[in-house]
Amino acid sequence: MPKSFKICDRKIGENCLPLVIVEIGINHNGDFKKAKQMISDAHKNGAECIKFQCHIIEDEMIPNEIIPLNANESIWEIMKKCAFSKSQEIDLKKYTEHLGMIYLSTPFSRAAANRLEDMDLCAYKIGSGECNNFPLISHIASFGKPMILSTGMNNMETISKSVKILQKSNIDYALMHVTSMYPTPYDQVRLNVINELKIKFPDTVIGLSDHSFGNYTCFAATAIGASILEKHFTSDKTWPGPDIPISINPEELKDLIIGSKAIFNSLKGQKNILDGERETAKFAYASVVTINDIAKDECFSKENIWVKRPGTGQIRAEFFEDILNKKSTRIIKKNEQLKWEMIND
């Protein structure tokens, strides 16, 4: 498995600019106009990849009264309200792609996966709750499309089982480190796990799906080599919805995209003197200069020579000690930059 692959025409992975996945998810709260507004607002602020969630409630779960910690109604009622029809999802995909962005979606059931495959998605994003849903992972992997697998609420044992399914299916895939807490306290983000995943799965693209406030942890993840960054997104933080409080707004999205690109570009290079630094060196370096008049055959000492800017002299400060106790070949006036011809070995 290579350390990079393509989603649509976008290459992701090693030595590639991190892909920012804008997770609209269910932040539309079942309002189609809000969904389109978020696509538009994300596009205006530099997004290249939009993600929704595909819920076909009857195939996804049985009726239940479980209320998530970040909500005040049951998960059944939330997903039933937020489920779009197939025609609505097709329209959202067309609108996203019309704007030149990648459309991804997370299927939460076999029926949802089949719907998305009928819509010809170029890749699939798998939620953390499905990381150990091996039958569903196998079903989606059978489509032969790239898969991005979130790993919250799972350990290396269950992640490894899912990875074996993906490898057996011979598809491109990425793993996302996630903490499934809404919001995630900073001390529970555990960015070090990104490196653990890299070690455990050395030929795999690794990213971060983040539920903490702001962009701080995504910036840090970029610095340690995350290839994908995912954040929940909303056009308006006053809208209702269980994921709205942890979502970034358009201004924060723009900052994430610009900031992650800046950090990625800053990671390149080796420690040497750049061509662009040489002009600065002319005034920033020091040269060996006389601090008093020096007679011919006079010994150089700390009383008559020192190191001063600019660095345009023939003898740089680093050679100062080599000159001490040697004799001058001629008379040298104060404040002259020394040259090797003035020094008698």
Q: Residue 121: which of 87, 147, 149 has the closest Cα?
A: 147
- Chosen domain end from 266, 283, 303: 266
Res 3: pLDDT: 87
Do 260 and 302 fall into the same domain? no
Instruction: Classify residue 305: in a domain, yes or no.
Output: yes
- Chosen domain end from 231, 266, 301: 266
Instruction: Classify residue 232: in a domain, yes or no.
Output: yes
Domain region containing 149: 12-266
Instruction: Classify residue 3: in a domain, yes or no.
Output: no
Do 226 and 290 fall into the same domain? no
Do 317 and 200 fall into the same domain? no
Instruction: Classify residue 296: in a domain, yes or no.
Output: yes
pLDDT by 10-residue block (mean), the chain, 345 residues? 86 96 97 98 98 96 90 90 96 98 98 98 98 98 98 98 98 98 98 98 97 98 98 98 97 98 96 95 97 98 98 97 97 98 93
Res 255: pLDDT: 98
Cβ 51 vs Cβ 23: under 8 Å: yes
Buried b (16+ CB within 10 A) or exposed e, 79-109: bbebbbeeeebeebbebbeebebbbbbbbbb
Domain count, the chain: 2
Do 69 and 208 fall into the same domain? yes
- Chosen domain end from 245, 266, 287: 266
Instruction: Classify residue 17: in a domain, yes or no.
Output: yes
Do 261 and 290 fall into the same domain? no
Do 244 and 101 fall into the same domain? yes
Do 82 and 171 fall into the same domain? yes
Do 211 and 326 fall into the same domain? no
What CATH code is carried by the domain that includes residue 327? Answer: 3.90.1210.10
Instruction: Classify residue 241: in a domain, yes or no.
Output: yes
Res 2: pLDDT: 55
Do 215 and 97 fall into the same domain? yes
Instruction: Classify residue 2: in a domain, yes or no.
Output: no
What CATH code is carried by the domain that includes residue 172? Answer: 3.20.20.70
Do 212 and 317 fall into the same domain? no
HEC sequence for 40-105: HHHHHCCCCEEEEEECCHHHHCCCCCCCCCCCCCCHHHHHHHHCCCHHHHHHHHHHHHHCCCEEEE
Do 141 and 190 fall into the same domain? yes
Res 1: pLDDT: 47
Q: In whole angstroms, give the CA distance from residue 123 to residue 147.
A: 6
Do 222 and 332 fall into the same domain? no
Instruction: Classify residue 205: in a domain, yes or no.
Output: yes
